[in-house]
Amino acid sequence: MSTLVVGGGGLLGSHVVDALRRQGLACRVPRVADWLDTSATLDTLLEQVPAAGDDYRVAWCAGAGTVATEPETLEREVRLFERFLDELPTPPRVVFLASSAGGVYAGSPASPPFSERSATGALAPYGVAKLAMERRLAAYARRRGTRGVLGRISNLYGPGQNLDKGQGLVSRIRHGQLVHEPLGIYVSMDTLRDYLFVRDAAEMVLACLDRAAAEPPGTATVKILASGKALSIAALAGESARVFRRSPGLASRPSHRAAAQVRDLRLRSVVWPEIDALARTPVGTGLHATGNAVADAFVTGKRRAN
């Protein structure tokens, strides 16, 4: 059985591909030339779908959107995902969708820590788009008798971060140290986030694909992928100073984007708890690996910190 990894060139997708290959598992990785060209992208993705009758899985790890992304771009991503599902010749055994815990819980009326049982609520178009994709996958699973995993992922960090996207606090802190420029922070320093090392996240994605295969057809399971340990921005900065032996320069810069952020986004998974044990990389170790990748990219002039 092969796994089709959509977005295999991105932060999460590239590590999912690496994890599959380490386990000796077959995978297909479509190479998309221009994600903004929806029709061409869809053709490229569908060309990699196994022939009718072949057993396969899909790990949808694509998504260039962030909290600051324009609604039109996010709507295009949602439409691409919907069309992809609609045009699959045969349903996969499992479809994993990389969603966003921060995006879908930012406006939740529930109190943190948020679990899979907590009510969702989006504060920005980014979260609205993620919830729309989750609903679409759940409906597809029911209709086609496959299994869906709505993987609500916490703040990812690690080697492979695209430095041009303006996200990834860990990578941006290290980059700011290297270029000797203060990093603008538009939320308070006591803002709590759950930071998940991307290599751990990739192993968790594969575990979700395996676990979901045992669920009844038509099932759509919500699963939070997180470390379960929240850090404030101040604490992350302090750990960064310890690991890199240099204090990060952080500057408070008010922004309209702060309205889409909440102070406390602690997470606690209560579904498939055995998978949570895969989030095992200590934050210091993850910071060191990420920092080395950013430094290598800085020296070579690359924009992706592999």
Distance CA(169)–CA(6), nearest Å, equals 24
Quick one: pLDDT at residue 48?
A: 95
What pLDDT was estimated at residue 260?
58
- Helix, strand, coil distribution of the chain in percent, nearest 5: 45, 20, 40
Strand partners, 305: 161
Q: What is the pLDDT of residue 305?
A: 54
Of 25, 286, 295, 5, nearest to 158 by C-alpha is 286
Whether residue 252 contacts residue 187, with contact meaning beta carbons closer than 8 Å, is answered with no
What is the H or E stretch that residue 27 is in? Answer: strand 27-28
Domain 2-305 has CATH 3.40.50.720: yes
Rg (CA), the chain: 19
* Cβ partners under 8 Å of residue 236, min gap 6: 169, 170, 173, 195, 283
Is residue 302 within 8 Å of 161, Cβ to Cβ?
no
Q: Distance between CA atoms of 188 and 252, rounded to whole angstroms?
A: 8
Provide the pLDDT for residue 174.
Answer: 84
pLDDT for residue 259: 54
At 178 the pLDDT is 80
Q: Where are the domains of the chain?
A: 2-305
Q: Are 167 and 10 in contact (CB under 8 A)?
A: no
Mean pLDDT by 10 residues, the chain (306 residues): 95 97 96 91 95 88 80 93 96 97 96 98 94 98 98 95 74 81 80 96 98 97 97 90 82 59 94 98 94 82 56
Residue 286 has a pLDDT of: 95
**DSSP states of 188-208 as a string?**
-TT-EEEEEEHHHHHHHHHHH
Q: What is the pLDDT of residue 185?
A: 79
pLDDT given at position 301? 64
